[in-house]
Structure 1
Amino acid sequence: MRIAQIAPLMESVPPKAYGGTERIVSYLTEELVRAGHDVTLFASADSRTRADLQPMCDVGLRLAPGPKDPIAYHMLMLEEVRNRADEFDIIHAHVDLLHYPLLREHSARCLTTMHGRLDLPLLARMHEIFDDFRLVSISEHQRGPIPDANWAGTVHHGLPLDLLRYAPRDDGYLAFLGRISPEKRPDRAIEIAVRAGAPLKIAAKVDPADVDYWEQKIRPLVEGAPQVEFVGEIDDRQKAAFLGGARALLFPIDWPEPFGLVMIEALACGTPVIAYDHGSVPEVIEDGVTGFLVNSIEEAVRRVDEVGALDRARIRRTFERRFSAARMASDYVAIYQGMRAQAKTPRIIAVNGHQNAVL
């Protein structure tokens, strides 16, 4: 198939450090190329891919110097896709809602993966208006706010099997990996570690929008807890050692998490996850097998003492079975094929009492 992948332009594909959506676009794109599909990737010029890269800006916009207008860059990219739409069997978008008005005449060949939360104002109304666009959810729970949207399927994220190496033994510390933001609850992670008497390493970026939260809420907690180390933002080369060395990943979220990529990154290393039972978490973590689902600080502290009994080799095997990039790509290809088959099926309409096939 001829497939266009439309990536966000805030980060390169894959991103230099933090960036979940761009990372998934990369893994999917490379698997599709490996499977023999003709893939065109619309992304920043500093992206790395075996697909046909169509550069839409010099570097990922988050790292670009000087003032920039992300909406303008994305609109120019989508206009390029619109002009070339007939070159593709499938146009797979990962840019939220931005492409709906520009690509509506090509909606039959468009698939949109919803990477974010769907309980925000006006999203339900938007999907009533643009109900001709097929959507993919990244967890069943994510669909909750708009259950009647035009869902084509649910595809859990996946990782290349050789991306993060398995670590049979840990170095005893707890890990927090992600963003410093209120919904990720690094404050809970710190409290869990302090009350459990365990060292904690925090590898996280601080977005400009969260600087006040970091300075006023989290930094004082880090500086007041001798066993807590703030590592900062890390890249893929550092991630394997960071997650593989952890006794457990703490994922104490306080929001309807659509998926939680860091959870399966930990599982790839054989590292169990102690996670609050919100959003997609129970779809990803098998309680008592790949980690523990908790609903309070007290419960999380108890699980820190019990997590060593979990089988790290079994956790890795579970990751390989459920969360490989090859499985993810296969799930998407099945949806692509269904879309093509549906597009080739004639619609039957009645004209003057006679049934007529309309392609």
Structure 2
Amino acid sequence: MKILLTADPEIPVPPILYGGIERILDVLVNDYVAKGHDVTLMAHPDSKVPCRLIPWRGKQSQGLANTLVNTSQLFSQVLKGKYDIVHSFSRLAYLTPILPLRIPKLMSYQREPTLSQVRKAARLAWKNSLLFTGCSNYISDQIKPYAKAETVYNCVPISRYDFSPAVHTDAPLAFLGRIEAIKGTHLAIEVAQRTNRQLIIAGNIPAEGEGYFEQQIKPYLNDRIQYI
């Protein structure tokens, strides 16, 4: 198959440090190529992938100018690329011009969807050409009243890890992810407190998450609950 994958423009694939969606894309790209598929990825220019890379011209996901530039770029690429499918992990808005086209489109969500955009996309899309996926039932169940959606859990490249059938009774819990309310760092702290377990928190604090960190995370840090 000839597959076009899209990532958000901010973080390379694979990510240098944090980047959950970008790690999933890295696994998909490598597996698709290994299986003989013709893969193109639209992503950050510093991405290092074994397929054709097309850097986004718009450098951010937010902002009207960036959105228009990247939407136009994706539309142009689809028209000349003759792909069998477009699989988007980037903004749904980028798909707008190709929604009425017959080409199969797969939009994957890793966080809570904006349902007003889902409804609009479903109305614009060519019949049965658009499918949504969510990485949890919580996400996909929100979409199902408005469009076809399935749950596809995130994958893990198990060959990169050593399996341990048991851990020490005092092994710490770990939270790895972006520090903001939607990721549930405060819930990890609550679990650690209730179970009297150590907790190690690691992840970046985005600008919009600074208040959350100061109010709901930092006050609970101590020798048992640590942010590194």
Q: Equivalents in 1 of 2:5, 2:116: separation in Å?
A: 26
Partner residue, 2:133: 137
Please state whether the residue corresponding to 1:101 is helix, strand or coil.
helix
User: Which residue type is aligned with residue 95 of structure 1?
Assistant: S
Give the secondary-structure state (helix, strand or coil) at the position aligned to 1:126. helix
The more displaced of 185-194 and 9-18 is 185-194
Deviation at 1:148, TM superposition (A): 4.1
Whether contact under 8 Å (1:96, 1:114) holds in the other structure is: no
User: Matched residues, percent identical?
Assistant: 27
Does the residue aligned with 1:92 lie in a helix, a strand or coil?
strand
- CA deviations 1:272-320 (Å, max 9, x no partner) are xxxxxxxxxxxxxxxxxxxxxxxxxxxxxxxxxxxxxxxxxxxxxxxxx
**Taking structure 1 as the reference length, what is the TM-score of the superposition?**
0.54
Q: Deviations over 1:183-224 (max 9, x none)?
A: 3332332233234332211112111101111123311221xx
Shift of 1:29: 1.3
Distance in 1, matches of 2:122 and 2:86, equals 21
Q: Equivalents in 2 of 1:53, 1:131: separation in Å?
A: 26
State the distance in 2 between where 1:173 and 1:230 align.
13
Aligned-pair CA distance for 1:149: 4.0
How many residue pairs get aligned? The number is 222
1:104 correspondence with 2:99: yes
> Is residue 2:200 matched to residue 1:204?
no
Instruction: Tell me what 2:181 maps to.
Output: 182
1:151 maps to what in 2? 148
Structure 1 unaligned spans of 5+ = 232-359
Q: Specify the alignment match of 1:216 in structure 2.
A: 215
- Name 1:230's counterpart in structure 2: 227
Q: 2-side partners of 1:89 and 1:128: how far apart?
A: 20
Matched-pair contact (CA < 8 Å) for 2:133–2:152: yes
Please tell me whether Structure 1 or Structure 2 has the larger radius of gyration of its CA atoms: 1
Conserved? CA contact 1:44–1:57, under 8 Å: no
CA distance in 1, matches of 2:102, 2:8: 19
- The answer for the alignment partner of 1:89 in structure 2 is 84
Aligned 8 A contact 1:4 1:90 in 2: yes
Q: Note if 1:113 corresponds to 2:120.
A: no
**Residues 1:166 and 1:198: Cα distance change in structure 2 (over 3 Å):** same
Q: Compute the displacement of 1:129 (Å).
A: 1.9
Task: Flag structure 2 segments of 5+ consecutive residues without an equivalent.
Answer: none
- Is the 1:94–1:113 contact (alpha carbons within 8 Å) kept by the matching residues of 2? yes
**What's 1:289 paired with?**
none
- SS, match of residue 108 in structure 1: coil
C-alpha spacing 1:115/1:189, structure 2 compared with 1 (3 Å): closer
Instruction: Tell me if structure 2 keeps the 8 A contact 1:42–1:77.
Output: no
For residues 1-359 of structure 1, what are the structure 2 equivalents within 5 Å? 1-57=1-57, 61=60, 70-86=66-82, 88-118=83-113, 120=114, 122-132=116-126, 133-138=129-134, 139-151=136-148, 153-170=150-167, 172-222=171-221, 225-231=222-228
CA contact (8 A) 2:132 2:140 kept: no
Aligned with 2:200: secondary structure?
strand
Structure 1 letter corresponding to 2:98: L
Q: Tell me how far 1:164 sits from its aligned partner.
A: 2.8
When the two structures are superposed, what TM-score results if normalisation uses the length of structure 2?
0.82
